[in-house]
Structure 1
Amino acid sequence: MNQHLKSAAVASAAASFSLKPLTPTIGVEIHDIDLAKPIDAPTLAALRQTLLDWKVVFFRDQNITTDEHIAFARLFGDLEVHPFAPHKPGYPEILAITHNKDNPGKENTWHSDVTWREKPSLGSILRAIEVPPVGGDTLFSDMYAAYEGLSDEVKAQIDGKVAIHDFAHFRAAMRKHGKSEAEIEEMNKAYPMVEHPVVRTHPETGRKGIYVNAPFTQYIVGLERDASDALLKHLYAQAAIPEYQCRFSWEANSLAFWDNRACQHYAVSDYWPAVRRMERVTVIGDRPR
């Protein structure tokens, strides 16, 4: 039994739920738990450890309310309100993600959520409300494995380096939708560009993982732009290696809870013109180190 399976067995033994791994290192389905019911301290500790071990955990058949979704997320920390994306009416913490014939999916790029924040997300909890008859899967990639798979030469190149992160594509969307430059400047002041390490040390596991992503990372500080672009391109490509990945096929009332500090994800946009309707709650994290 590998170390992940041993840890999974220990975690699940502390609670009543059971585990079904999707791959040897990333992704596990958690069964025999009802997220609508109160979660006691031992079970919560076991869930947190399972998330740390597997980077992303999945739940099926969770017919929960919006309030129960939020309450479950709050067990892991304070919740953020996304300043750019649409919210569910009456629930600023709920990010409403709906794609259909008139709004095709566009999250089909490898990324970790909100790395343009000074304190990016600890994790995101996504709930499927309506899913296409086929397609619309989400892939997750293990950034520990991605880092460990780098050559010694590349590891030496990125050791101690930091990169600039920015909400550039949201800024572009604001302009596209007619926001004034004054409004955009207010967002620039509220969310200035930030430096994060190229290789992040996870605050709970102590493990190292790649922490740059194409949507939000701009450049590596201290490198010529061409050298920075080439190195970032190489680092981005690591997420696409199948050996580092798991893939989740959604059903209505499925949930995924992923650790943004340890993995990246990619929402497959292969279902147009079908409807895919999801709701996400995001747990605030700490400053990457």
Structure 2
Amino acid sequence: MTAVTPDTPVSGPSVLREARVPADGMYEGRRTLRRLPEGTGERPYELFELVPQGPLIGAEIRGVDLSRPLGPALREELNRALLEWKVLFFRGQSLTSQQQRDFAAHWGELETNPLLARGSSEEVVRFDKGGSSTPTFENVWHADVTFRERPALGAVLQLHEVPPFGGDTMWADMAAAYDNLPRTVKARIDGAWAVHDFIPGFARFYGPEKLIPMQEQFPPVKHPVVRTHPETGRRMLFVNTSFTTHIEGMDRAESDRLLSYLVRQAHVPEYQVRFRWQAGDVAFWDNRSTQHYAVDDYAPHRRVAERVAVAGDRPF
């Protein structure tokens, strides 16, 4: 019998065994994190201090009082910051509802939403969690009101009451999500259209008696799966879990499988920023290029927020 020593070669397989991985998976590796459109260079901000919250998305703006009217130069520079960073944070503003509306109105017509609880006026939506209000659920990656023909351009959210822990909000950059799709997936979805409907998102907490009267006001609409940003020209993934029901021209199984893969792109941490609120803080985000997720981890404590949204254009 031959003794085995440390120098004795050990025979074994010469071919790597087959290992099946799930189809449509998301795997590790370096991702492209391109914050600015191609051909756009960095420029300093002259009217405020901008503090990045990460390399790709999210910046805190310091030195701006949102309770005061914005002059044209300041509005233009804030808009550039919004386009470049996609979500802006303003600490300790403590705006009245009127001041919040006035700030949002610098970006256009204000939107109303009869499906959500109203604040001090029809343009103000109130989220009161932990109290006696109708519970709503925002802890899913979504863009606001994509069931409209003209989904919101953006939204201004202010926290009035903050729980002692939890209650953060997260945003994901959907231009980065598109940039990193495999070429084969891009080829399948470029030029494709998807149907969006308000019912899937709201049927989780409203019954038919609330939703049926709204059906004529909010019929299903079609939007491109990949939309083009009207100001930057960036291509962005534009489907979400709450409101996108199917991709046109595909059978249900194929559409469900592809949508499942596409909506998971928002889950990639490299595309995200997370904000820890303090009472009086304001966030202003570009709803065209982001999705967001309100983390529901603060029960039984109360969280009260108000949102004003700016009407957008028809996606193309």
TM-score of the alignment, normalized to the shorter chain, above 0.5 = yes
Q: Distance in 2 between matches of 1:111 and 1:122?
A: 14
Q: Which residue of 1 aligns with 2:184?
A: 153
8 Å contact 1:19–1:31 — kept in the other structure? yes
Q: Is it true that 1:55 corresponds to 2:86 in the alignment?
A: yes
Matched AA of 1:94: V
Q: Distance in 2 between matches of 1:166 and 1:105?
A: 17
Matched AA of 1:92: E
Q: Is it true that 1:43 corresponds to 2:69 in the alignment?
A: no
In structure 2, relative to structure 1, the CA distance for the partners of 1:43 and 1:100 (3 Å cut) is same
- 1:70-81 correspondence runs (5 A): 70-81=101-112
Q: Is it true that 1:118 corresponds to 2:145 in the alignment?
A: no
Q: Distance in 2 between matches of 1:252 and 1:101?
A: 17
Q: Which residue of 2 aligns with 1:287?
A: 314
In structure 2, relative to structure 1, the CA distance for the partners of 1:226 and 1:288 (3 Å cut) is same
8 Å contact 2:136–2:205 — kept in the other structure? no
Q: Distance in 2 between matches of 1:229 and 1:162?
A: 14
Q: Which residue of 2 aligns with 1:19?
A: 50
Structure exhibiting the larger radius of gyration computed from Cα positions:
2
Q: CA deviation at 1:174?
A: 4.1
Structure 2 unaligned regions, length at least 5 = 1-33
Q: Which residue of 2 aligns with 1:32?
A: 63
In structure 2, relative to structure 1, the CA distance for the partners of 1:147 and 1:42 (3 Å cut) is same
- Could you say what secondary structure the match of 2:231 adopts? coil
Q: Which residue of 2 aligns with 1:267?
A: 294
Q: CA deviation at 1:38?
A: 2.0
Q: Which residue of 1 aligns with 2:258?
A: 231
> Matched residue pairs, number?
278
Counting helix residues as a fraction of each chain, which structure ranks higher?
Answer: 1
Return the TM-score normalized by structure 2: 0.84
Q: Which residue of 1 aligns with 2:274?
A: 247
**Identity over aligned pairs, percent:** 47
In structure 2, relative to structure 1, the CA distance for the partners of 1:3 and 1:215 (3 Å cut) is closer
- 1:89-100 correspondence runs (5 A): 89=120, 91-100=121-130
Q: CA deviation at 1:88?
A: 1.0
Q: Distance in 2 between matches of 1:3 and 1:151?
A: 19
- Could you say what secondary structure the match of 2:175 adopts? helix
Deviations 1:85-105 (A, max 9, x none): 01014x110000010166666
Aligned-residue CA RMSD in angstroms?
Answer: 1.8
In structure 2, relative to structure 1, the CA distance for the partners of 1:225 and 1:150 (3 Å cut) is same
Q: Distance in 1 between matches of 2:104 and 2:247?
A: 33
Counting strand residues as a fraction of each chain, which structure ranks higher?
Answer: 1
Q: CA deviation at 1:252?
A: 0.4
Q: Is it true that 1:82 corresponds to 2:133 in the alignment?
A: no
Q: Which residue of 1 aligns with 2:8?
A: none
Q: Distance in 2 between matches of 1:265 and 1:8?
A: 26
8 Å contact 1:127–1:256 — kept in the other structure? yes
- Could you say what secondary structure the match of 2:215 adopts? helix
Q: Distance in 2 between matches of 1:172 and 1:135?
A: 23
- 1:78-227 correspondence runs (5 A): 78-89=109-120, 91-100=121-130, 106-168=137-199, 169-171=201-203, 173-175=205-207, 178-179=209-210, 184=212, 186-227=213-254
